[in-house]
Structure 1
Amino acid sequence: MIPYGRQEVIEDDIQAVVDVLRSDFLTQGPVVPRFEQAVAEKVGAAHGVATNSATSALHIACLALDLGPGDWLWTSPITFVASANCGLYCGARVDFVDIDPRTYNMSHEALADKLAVAEREGRLPKVVVPVHFAGQSCDMAAIHALSERYGFRIIEDASHAIGGRYHGEPVGCGRYSDITVFSFHPVKIITTGEGGMAVTNEPALAERMTRLRSHGITRDPAQMTHEPDGPWYYQQIELGFNYRMTEMQAALGISQLGRLDAFIARRRELVARYNRELDSLPVTRPWQDPDAESAWHLYVICLGEGAGPNDREEVFRSLWEAGIGVNVHYIPVHTQPQYQAMGFREGDYPVAEKYYATALSLPLYPALEEPDQEYVLSELRGVLQ
């Protein structure tokens, strides 16, 4: 089976993990801070806070921005459910902003229209979570300008986008947001097995997220309610969680990070070939904003004019039967039963729903060899023609 995505683990990665297993620390040692610093430096941010998943990073990012009951979080309907669930975890209410029909990212025009209505109705969001779908940055300058007008905070969900760029700067540099979150799941650009990280330029946010990922506990006397009882002393000063990353995960991450540029370059080679070979087929290829350089986590095509869910299902099944593990990213979040029970209905976000009806993710990962990619293209041609 040729999967839609997979990790690439080499002997250097394995040795990095083995070295940790032979060391004194398996958790809460020196390797996690090194990984945090390395990622922060790579993307041009001041601070990194590693977690056991990107979902955890989104949760503590929301908490660090004081999202809570009575507040609103807005995000894209075309994302994994975690981008919205992080608001529910905080007791906040969640809403969505329809997508741009070319990039499949949150539409800043739709966001502007929705904000104008929300201002009149007194329900402006406290936090907006733009999702850099497939690795391409949202139009963050436009979204940031709206945040300055309407007063919301921004968490970039860059789970797909480490190694991507926007306006010539790395995704995660923090120029247009408060916090950026990366994912290190095995199908992402680099992996730590499971894992995530929040990066920020604000020391207070980094400090609070660091505390929240470890039970809300501090050993810093300056944060305590009274003088420590002794050198062993700690205090839980707020309700936190066990969202820590292990030393083994961080060691794998450091090793993988060293090949990030090579991973991105290889993905771009594969994308260029897809683009050439699909030019004559009845599909819509991914459109790229000239102001952004995608990290190419996903290569998503949409079937041609007049195609619908039944046509997509036929293509999907045929390719799977041929041993090609295509996938669909994503089922619009507002159509999930959890969100339908909250009052959302099909038809609420028509652009997202139109996209979903014909979208198909083709295999894309650095270890995808040319013969396998040609096989994917050949089988796709056969099904479509």
Structure 2
Amino acid sequence: MSDFLPYGRQFIQDDDIAAVTEALKADYLTTGPTVAKFERAFADHVGAPDAVACSNGTAALHLAMMMLGIGEGDVCIVPSITFLATANCVRYCGGEVVFADVDSDSGLMTPQTLEDALKRAGKPVKAVLPVHMRGELCDMPALSQITERQGGRVVEDAAHAVGSRRTFGNQVVHAGDCRHSVMTTFSFHPVKTITTGEGGMITTSSTAVAAELRTLRSHGMVRHPGADPWLYEMDSPGYNYRLPDINCALGLSQLAKLDRLAVRRRELAAYYEQRIAPLAPLIWTAVTAPGSDPCLHLMTVLIDFKAAGTTRRAVVDGLTAAGIGSQVHYIPVHTQPYYRKRYGDLDLPGANAWYEACLSLPLYPQLEKSDIDRIVETLGGLLGIK
């Protein structure tokens, strides 16, 4: 049997290793000049005025909620199809989560599901956190307009979406450019399109917001120009959410090849769609909206397991036995015991339908088209498709 194909894998080359080695030989291992270089390069790449590096994607979300002043009783809207961190970061600050439903074929919050969540909130909403699932961008102009109309702020969770873009009318929106949000957060976990090992980033259109985020990521400490060199002040507590120079060196090297990695992911995703299309109606790829040009982090297919006379567990086990990894993204967060206890049982049919059908297949630059042939043929066999 061929080598096992995981659902995601980091892409590390000799130049990445050399960049980290050089950082290890430098004067700073953490809180050094490479951090600022990575921040500036990332901001320039996505088209944002400023960017702030931090220790991981969850820390980025938490810092964003702190920056907005989310506190006890403040309501924030989060789509139910996301990783736990998007909702948990609201709770870290004492805020309350109202879960929005998603489109069952894309996994995304939509203008209608946002409107429905706003009605259920029962009070003014302080923040809305759209999640660019898989790398597919939400309808940001519409979501932003709806949110701002009732006095809230938008923070985009783009953990999956570095390198993605979408055209609205004549405007091309890039993930992280913050044209329709106050902040956008990213993750550089190893299975993402680019990695820093662990790491995160917040982009923003406000230099004042960026300055405050840098204070919050480093214990809330402020050093004033001209003061004694050992002096610092803390007006309010922050966290140790800094990203070391070593990680930023890897990030800079990875960022330099982002465009090339995005091209490769788009090629592989297009080939997946070509190979999966004949397997309809039992299996189909997650929907891509008109005008969207995602750099997919996840290759998610939707499967009618009942019609195929099987279960997702049987398919996952069959793929594993054939040396093919898969994953489920995600279990609806509103069904987690903590949130059920806090908010009761919610009826979010889109999120439930997405969860019942979704399965993420291998997608990473080292994958070959012959690997995709093997994956799709194996999957078709497990579903009884000749």
Same-fold status (TM-score > 0.5):
yes
Shift of 1:319: 0.5
Is the aligned partner of 1:288 residue 2:288?
A: yes
1:314 CA displacement: 1.3
What SS does the aligned partner of 1:96 have?
A: strand
Residues 353 and 310 from structure 1, CA distance in 2 versus in 1: closer, same or farther, beyond 3 angstroms?
farther
Post-superposition shift, 1:370? 2.4
8 Å contact 2:136–2:292 — kept in the other structure? yes
C-alpha contact (below 8 Å) 1:49/1:210 kept by paired residues: yes
Hey, what's the Cα distance between the residues in 2 that align with 1:18 and 1:130?
A: 37
Residue equivalent to 1:265: 263
In structure 1, C-alpha distance between the alignment counterparts of 2:289 and 2:36, rounded to whole Å: 34
Distance 1:330 1:117, change over 3 A: closer
Are residue 21 (structure 1) and residue 24 (structure 2) matched? yes
Q: 1:187 to 1:231 in 2, by over 3 A?
A: same
CA distance in 1, matches of 2:307, 2:357: 7
Deviates more, 1:208-217 or 1:308-317: 308-317
Instruction: Indicate which of 2, 5, 12 corresponds to 1:2.
Output: 5
SS in 2 for 1:126: strand
* 1:207 aligned onto 2:211: yes
1-structure distance, mates of 2:301, 2:256: 30
2:103 to 95, 100, 105: 100
The equivalent residue for 2:64 is: 61
Taking the TM superposition and a 5 Å limit, the aligned residue runs for 1:203-242 are: 203-221=207-225, 228=227, 230-242=228-240
Task: State the AA in 2 paired with 1:335.
Answer: T
CA contact (8 A) 2:110 2:143 kept: no
**How much has 1:12 moved relative to structure 2?**
0.2
Q: How far off is 1:48 after superposition?
A: 0.6
Q: CA deviation at 1:17?
A: 0.2
299-308 or 6-15: bigger deviation: 299-308
Paired with 1:267 and 1:380, the residues of 2 have a C-alpha distance of 20
Q: Say whether the 8 Å CA contact 2:99–2:117 is kept in structure 1.
A: no
Q: Is the 8 A contact 2:51 2:202 kept in 1?
A: yes
3-state DSSP class of the match of 2:162? Answer: coil
Give 1:305 deviation, angstroms: 7.4
Length-normalised TM-score, structure 2: 0.94
Q: Which AA in structure 2 matches 1:369?
A: E
Q: Indicate yes or no: 2:86 matched with 1:83.
A: yes
The separation in 2 between residues aligned to 1:77 and 1:309, in whole angstroms, is: 28
Distance of 1:210 and 1:265 partners within structure 2: 33
AA matched with 1:236:
M
Q: Deviations over 1:44-73 (max 9, x none)?
A: 111111001010010010110111112011
CA distance in 2, matches of 1:20, 1:183: 21
1:381 deviates by: 1.7
- Hey, what's the Cα distance between the residues in 2 that align with 1:117 and 1:380? 40
Is 2:142 aligned against 1:142? yes
Q: Where does structure 2 lack aligned partners over 5 or more consecutive residues?
A: none
User: 2:362 is aligned with what amino acid?
Assistant: P
**Structure-2 separation of matches of 1:384 and 1:193:** 36
SS class of match (1:342): helix
Secondary structure, in 3 states, of the residue corresponding to 2:19?
helix
Measured after TM superposition, the shift of residue 336 of structure 1 is 1.2
Aligned residue in 1 for 2:75:
72
Find out whether 1:278 has 2:276 as its counterpart. Answer: yes
Name whichever of 352-361 and 95-104 sits farther off: 95-104
Preserved CA contact (<8 Å) 2:218 2:242 = yes
Q: Is the CA contact 1:309–1:358 (under 8 Å) kept in the aligned structure 2? A: no
Segments of 4+ in structure 1 off by > 3 A? 305-310
Aligned partner of 1:373 in structure 2 is 372
| SS of equivalent to 2:80 | coil
Give the aligned residue type for 2:257: R
For the 8 Å contact 2:316–2:326, the answer to whether it is kept is yes
Cα distance in 1 for residues equivalent to 2:83 and 2:195: 18
- The answer to whether the 8 A contact 1:60-1:209 is kept is yes
SS at match of 1:324: coil
Alignment partner, residue 224 of structure 1: none
TM-fit CA distance, 1:350: 1.3
The DSSP-based 3-state class of the residue aligned with 1:31 is: helix
Give the distance between the partners of 1:280 and 1:305, measured in 2 at CA: 17
CA deviation after TM superposition for structure 1 residue 309, in Å: 11
Contact 2:77 / 2:117 at 8 angstroms: preserved in 1? Answer: no
Deviation larger for 309-318 or 70-79: 309-318
Q: Does the 8 Å contact 1:308/1:358 carry over to 2?
A: no
Matched residue pairs, number? 375
| Corresponding residue SS for 1:73 | strand
| Residue in structure 2 matching 1:192, options 187, 191, 196 | 196
C-alpha contact (below 8 Å) 1:136/1:161 kept by paired residues: yes
2:178 matched to which residue of 1? Answer: 174
Residues 315, 383 of structure 1: 8 Å contact kept:
yes
Which residues of structure 1 form unaligned runs of 5+? 222-226
Tell me the CA shift for residue 306 of structure 1.
4.1
Displacement after TM superposition at 1:373 (Å): 1.9
* Matched residue, 2:360: 361
Deviations 1:288-322 (A, max 9, x none): 11132111000111113744996212111110111
Q: Is the partner of 2:278 in helix, strand or coil?
A: coil
Q: SS in structure 2 opposite 1:155?
A: strand
